[in-house]
Homo-oligomer: A and B are copies of this chain.
Amino acid sequence: MEKGKNSKNQPGAAGGKREDIGMKHKKSDFSEWFSEILMKAELADLRYNVKGFLVHRPWSVLTMKNMYRYYEEEFERNGHDPAWFPALIPESNFKLEAEHVEGFAPELFWVTHSGDEKLTERMALRPTSETAMYIMYAKWIRSWRDLPLKIYQSCQVWRCDTKATRPFIRGREFHWMEGHDVFATMEEANEQVKEDMEMTENVMHKIYGIPFISIQRPEWDKFPGAVHTYVADSMMPDGKILQQPSTHLLGQNFAKGFGIKFKDNDEIEKYPWQTCYGPAIWRMFGSVVALHGDDKGLRFPYEIAPAQAVIIPITGLGDDARVVKKCKEIKQTLTSANIRARIDLSDNTPGWKFNQWELKGVPVRIEVGPRELREKTVTLARRDTGTKRTVKESELTSIIPRIGKDMSSNLRKAADDFLHKNIRQAGNIKELGLQLDKGGFVKVDFCTIDVEGIPCAEAIKNKLHAEVRGTRFDKIERPSGRCVVCGKTAACVAYIGRAY
């Protein structure tokens, strides 16, 4: 339904202008649609003169600030304290964990000079903060009483990724969070992996509406320096897989490299067990845009929407001054009720404004015209369903959050359905290829995600341009037959997909 044309309340409904902000079809050309919405909804500007670096405009930043708030609260609820570590890391820190430096070296940005002077030791911009944090952990941790140590930070990281950059998906600078935990025992570290996955569920899925499946990555696709890597794999509207937060079980590898030791309550000095967890708010924002948006523009879950309601005066039908006054009163009422409300008093037509704020993804539109004024009502329109209803002005502050909650839940369910509809199965390599072409995950019996599985994974990569993402972490799935590639007895059910 095109609101700009159908509402009798809209004298100026500018059919001509509708086209200016009309979006490409998301289904037929997701990639174009995504590029377009970033620009039209003023989320980011790609024209900054460093490749892979985005300028984040207010509409995305306001949203990501809300997203950060929910995630920070979740981190703190789970016993993490916030810290801020330096962005620059001396080269020598990296060398303390051999696999880690090898994995990250090609992506590091190096600071070599200050002013005209060459530094005695070059420093990397943090690509992730293990090597900044763990030299301090070695100073802080002495006794079992100092454990567990659970710290997170919200920051930016820099990686000169050699793959093609894409805004909010893969960039050379991005905004994320990282949790770095230390435990006295392996069991506690293993429990933390589960708690991290629950945090992903509680915030990324329940609040942002981004569904995922939890996966243990294959041996050949772990974080450099980790014992195991666990991830939340999400899906984009084009069926391609996008990795969301991962947790790395570091075991004692870094503790040994960085000399983190503690005296246990049995008086014996031991190396502790570590985990690290990295939710990238920036990439999740990309998923929010991609998964929930439609051909009219953005659709934000109510909780994280930069504006939760927009008030539009229906002017030009008489009584303009009183209409505008009422709109301002309503804004005041909503603000007092902690509803993030805006009012559009620009000189555009109501129809143009409807389209504009739909593009911007505001969950609830409030229309106030002479009729509403007379009847002490307002007209509400929902961004997800487009349905309109007339409600009493006095009910606004109770109804809007309710609509918001319902809308968030609708968006999440639609995303859930999409994910689950796109998990398929294949019994042999040919079927795997056919199913992969439909997008999403394809489950197959697979020899093993241990190193012995590498040749089979490479065969899939070379023949089908797809990746073995790993096995389910949240449940045990038993294979019934043989590996779809090598034909050996399968040890696991692997999830295959084409990924960003």
Task: List residues of chain A with CB under 8 Å of any chain B CB.
Answer: 45, 47-50, 53-58, 61-62, 64-65, 81-90, 92-93, 105-116, 122-123, 125, 132, 135-136, 139-140, 151, 156, 158, 160, 173, 175
Contact = CB atoms under 8 A, between A and B. Distances in A.
A97 B410 CA distance: 51
Contacts of A82: 58, 61-62, 65
Contacts of A53: 86, 88
Given A82-B61, A151-B58, A111 B114 contact: no
A75 B125 CA distance: 29
A312 to B, nearest CB: 19
13 contacts: A49-B90, A50-B88, A50-B89, A54-B86, A56-B85, A61-B82, A61-B84, A87-B125, A88-B109, A110-B112, A112-B112, A113-B122, A114-B160
Given A48-B136, A57-B83, A136-B45, A113 B123 contact: no
A173 B65 CA distance: 22
Contacts of A62: 81-82
The copy count of this chain in the complex is 2
A484 to B, nearest CB: 36
A218 to B, nearest CB: 25
Given A53-B88, A87-B173, 17 more contacts: A47-B136, A48-B132, A49-B90, A50-B89, A54-B86, A56-B85, A58-B81, A58-B83, A65-B82, A84-B175, A86-B173, A87-B158, A88-B158, A88-B173, A106-B116, A107-B115, A110-B112
Given A50-B90, A88-B50, A136-B48, A83 B56 contact: yes
A73 to B, nearest CB: 11
Given A82-B61, A87-B173, A47 B139 contact: yes
A92 B58 CA distance: 26
A112 to B, nearest CB: 5
B160 A115 contact: yes
B111 A45 contact: no
A114 B88 CA distance: 14
Contact of A156 (B54, B87, B173): B87
Contacts of A56: 83-85
Looking at A50, A57, A132, A140, the one whose CB has the most chain B CB atoms below 10 A away is A50
Nearest to A151: B58
